[in-house]
Amino acid sequence: MESEVRQWVRQARRIVALTGAGISTDSGIPDFRGPQGVWTKNPHAEKMSNIHYYLADREVRKASWQNRLNSPAWSAKPNPGHMALVELERRKQLHALITQNIDELHQIAGNSAELVIEVHGSMRRFMCWGCGMRGPMQKVLERVRAGEEDPACRDCGGILKSDTISFGQQLVPEVIDRAMRVAGEADLFIAIGTSLQVYPIAGAFDIARSAGAKTVIVNAEPTPYDSMADAVLGGSISSVLPSLVNSGTEPDLIRAASPNSHFRGRGSA
Ligand SMILES: [Zn+2]
C-alpha cells in the first residue's frame, strides 16, 4: 500500500494537503481533543476556547492570557512531517496546504505563506474584538509579562484575543471558500493528522474525491472517511510522511534528497 501511495505522490502535479493536530503532536504540541488532550484533562480549558465565556468574563480572559504565555507552541519546532510538505513545495507539486492548526509550524518549516490556508487562524497573531486590528501576538504577551492581566486594545480599548477561531465564532467565509476551491483542483488529496470530524472543512475530502483526485488519509486513529479513501496509512506521521515523499524507505532521506542537505539537516534536527 505504502509503495503505491509513494508512486501517486511522485506522479502528482497538484497535491493538496489538509493537516490537523496530529502533524504537530510530534513537535510537542498536544492535541486538544485526543485522549491525552488538554480539554480531556482540564474541562475548564474548554471555557477559555469559547468566545461567549471569553468576552463575558474577565477571569476567563486572565486565565487565557496566562495559557497563551505558557503555550508549548512557542518553543515547538517543525518535525520531519512538516519538512516533507516543504519538500513537496520545493518540487512544485504542492498546490495548497489547508491546515486546521494555529501554530504556523508549516510556515516556520519553510512553506510559503501564500500556499498555507489557515482555516482556524493563527495563535501567533492577536486581534481586537472591537476594531478588528491585528498584529504579532508577542507584542501583547510582552504586556502580559509586564503585569497587565487582561490587556486592552490601545486604539479602541476593546477586548484582545488570539487571531484564531474560537468555539462559537464564525469561520471566515473567504478562507473556507478558498479551501474548498483548491480541494476541487487537486489531483492528489492527502489528509494528515486530522480526525476529519470538523465541518465544514472535512468536506474538502468529498470535494477533492468528487473532482477525481486520489485520496489518502494519514492518521493514527480511524476517521469516518477511511472506507472512501484510496489509501489509509496509520503510524507516526513524522516518519510516514517523509517516507511517502522521498520514494525511499528511510525517513532520513528527506535530508539526503535536499540539495542543501547540510542546512536542512540542522533545521530539522
Ligand atoms: Zn481595537
Active site residues: 120
Pairing of strands 231-233, 214-218: parallel
CB-CB contact of 19 with 86 (8 Å): no
SS3 157: coil
Give the least confident one: 53-57, 144-148, 202-206, 251-255: 251-255
165: Cβ–Cβ under 8 A, 6 or more apart, which residues?
119, 120, 121, 171, 172
Span from the CA of 125 to the centroid of ligand 1 (angstroms): 14
pLDDT of the residue at 41 = 59
Q: How far is the CA of 117 from the centre of ligand 1 (A)?
A: 25
Distances (CA, A) of 142 to 66, 77, 126, 148, 199: 12, 21, 12, 9, 35
Q: How confident is the model at residue 32 (pLDDT cuts 50, 70, 90)?
A: low
pLDDT of residue 159: 98
Inform me whether the pLDDT recorded for 261 exceeds 60: no
Better-predicted residue by pLDDT, 261 or 201: 201
* Average pLDDT estimate for 48-64: 92
Amino acid found at 30: P
CB atoms within 10 A of CB 235: 13
C-alpha angle with apex 252: 249 to 258, nearest 5 degrees? 105
- The pLDDT, as a whole number, for residue 46 is 73
Distance 155 CA to ligand 1 centre (A): 5
For all residues of the chain together, what is the average pLDDT? 89
pLDDT tops 80 at residue 131: yes
36 vs 256, residue with greater confidence: 36
